[in-house]
């Protein structure tokens, strides 16, 4: 599982996603644009590897992109990352995007016009060519999207459910005392 981060990534989203996926015993690699990434609210994260060090033949079970508009824009402008994203999508590997991250999927032409998605309300106008819902988490084909930091737990647990099973997701949810809004 690959989680890309860049300067300005929303720290709540990246940390919650990493934590929940690792609780599920999934192998998570954090790839950053720099050796130290400063997130949207000042938290510094040391990635496992640099995005530029991902080989062309290196594939992951899933690629999960946290939001934070500055981080999203930095990833969106990183041609090397966009190539990684497109290679994973061509193999129909599971791709997750939360908050503003669906903008990356849009600009990389990963989303089709009939894709059902959700995103942070502040960027919905930029995604108006897709079917946008108010749901906290939306799955359409190999793409899963979510609204933002407040839905990061639900998003992460849904990823666990899809990649492992519902029972594992429920056990993690119970162990962290999380109750979904649904």
Please check the confidence at residue 72 and state whether its pLDDT lies above 60. yes
Report whether 123 contacts 102 (CB < 8 A).
yes
* pLDDT confidence of residue 21: 98
DSSP assigned state of 21: H
d(CA 116, CA 172): 27
The residue-averaged pLDDT of 155-182 equals 93
Q: Which residues are catalytic?
A: 13, 99, 120
Give the CATH class of 2-175: alpha beta
If pLDDT is split at 50, 70 and 90, which confidence band does 179 have? confident
Given its phi and psi angles, is residue 8 left (phi above 0), alpha (psi -120 to 50 degrees) or beta? left
Please check the confidence at residue 52 and state whether its pLDDT lies above 90. yes
Q: Is the pTM of this model over 0.85?
A: yes
Q: Residue 175 has which token pair?
A: 């162990």
The residue-averaged pLDDT of 88-98 equals 96
Q: Residue 143 has which token pair?
A: 């793409």
């Amino acid at each position: 599982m690959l989680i890309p981060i860049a300067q300005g990534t929303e720290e709540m989203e990246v940390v919650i996603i990493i934590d929940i996926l690792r609780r599920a015993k999934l192998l998570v690699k954090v790839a950053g644009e720099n050796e130290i990434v400063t997130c949207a609210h000042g938290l510094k994260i040391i990635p496992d590897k640099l995005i530029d060090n991902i080989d062309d033949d290196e594939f992951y079970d899933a690629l999960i992109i946290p939001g934070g508009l500055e981080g999203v824009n930095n990833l969106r402008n990183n041609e090397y990352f966009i190539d990684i994203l497109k290679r994973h999508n061509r193999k129909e590997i599971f791709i997750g995007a939360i908050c503003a991250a669906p903008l990356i999927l849009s600009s990389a032409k990963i989303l089709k016009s009939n894709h059902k998605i959700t995103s942070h309300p502040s960027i919905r106008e930029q995604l108006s060519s897709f079917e946008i819902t108010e749901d906290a988490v939306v799955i359409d084909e190999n793409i899963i999207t979510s609204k933002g930091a407040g839905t990061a737990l639900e998003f992460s647990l849904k990823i666990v459910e899809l990649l492992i099973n519902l029972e594992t997701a429920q056990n993690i949810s119970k162990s962290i005392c999380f109750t979904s809004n649904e």
